[in-house]
Amino acid sequence: MSKIEPNAYVLLDYTLKNDKGEVLDESIGDGGEPISYVHGYGMLVPGLEAGLSGLAVGDEKKIIVPPAEGYGDRDDELVLEVDKQDFPDPKKINPGDEFVAESPDGDEVVMRVVELTTEGVIVDANHPLAGLTLHYQVRVREVREATEEELAQAAADLEEAEGHIHGPDCDHDHGDHGDEHGHAHDNEGNRLVTLGKKGADKATDKPN
């Protein structure tokens, strides 16, 4: 297998920039890692995976991914205010902190702390790259037929995380969390508290 096609294992280097040319992420440098995936299993955002199809080892390409083919548009309804007292230790909450909320039906949503108010915490459940046009510069390092184990794992991941969008900064699915309450977890997945919305209508106007 010499070109990227369904069931191919792919390894590639990348640089990700926004419309202003600012580097958002890259595989080369401190802490950077190449992308490795099995093609055709939705392991990357749709626009990136489609743009990689047909490339071979050594190929370089610029792939522009609009929001609709990336992490979607920003949704103001995913910005809301939570009562500060719902957190186990309100004094230790800081902007930039992340929590994983679990809705009553079991869906998980990553929420970032945007702002602290007198009594509440403004959180944003939009993916950090939502609403952005993504500019990828990629270089293919390896293409081969995926092993049976890799195919089985890719299929299992797809079935388990339907709708889960992957990328260099892969996060959990950020679906609608308009229910009255959810359960917050720390980054290790431990349940922390039950979160209740506070002034959600007002919070939708808060900037990220």
Query: Which residue, among 52, 63, 72, has the nearest Cα to 15 in the 3D structure?
Result: 63
Residue ranges and CATH numbers for the domains of the chain are: 8-71+129-160 (3.10.50.40), 76-128+172-203 (2.40.30)
125: left (phi over 0), alpha (psi -120 to 50) or beta: alpha
Query: What is the residue whose two structure tokens read 């929420």?
Result: 111
Query: Which residue, among 155, 187, 171, 166, has the nearest Cα to 49 in the 3D structure?
Result: 166
The CA-atom distances, in angstroms, between 61 and each of 114, 119, 135 are 35, 49, 10
Which amino acid is it at 147? T
Per-residue pLDDT of the chain (208 residues), as tens digits, is 899 999 999 999 999 999 999 999 999 877 889 999 999 999 999 999 999 999 999 999 999 999 999 999 999 998 988 887 776 677 788 888 887 776 666 677 788 889 988 878 898 989 989 999 999 999 999 999 999 999 999 999 888 766 444 444 443 333 333 333 333 344 444 333 434 433 333 232 333 3
| Contact by Cβ (8 Å): 146, 9 | yes
**pTM over 0.85, yes/no:** no
SS3 194: strand
- Other CB atoms within a 10 A radius of the CB of residue 172 amount to 16
**DSSP label at 156?**
H
User: Alpha helix locations (H) across 53-108?
Assistant: none
Separation between Cα atoms, residue 53 and residue 75, nearest integer Å: 30
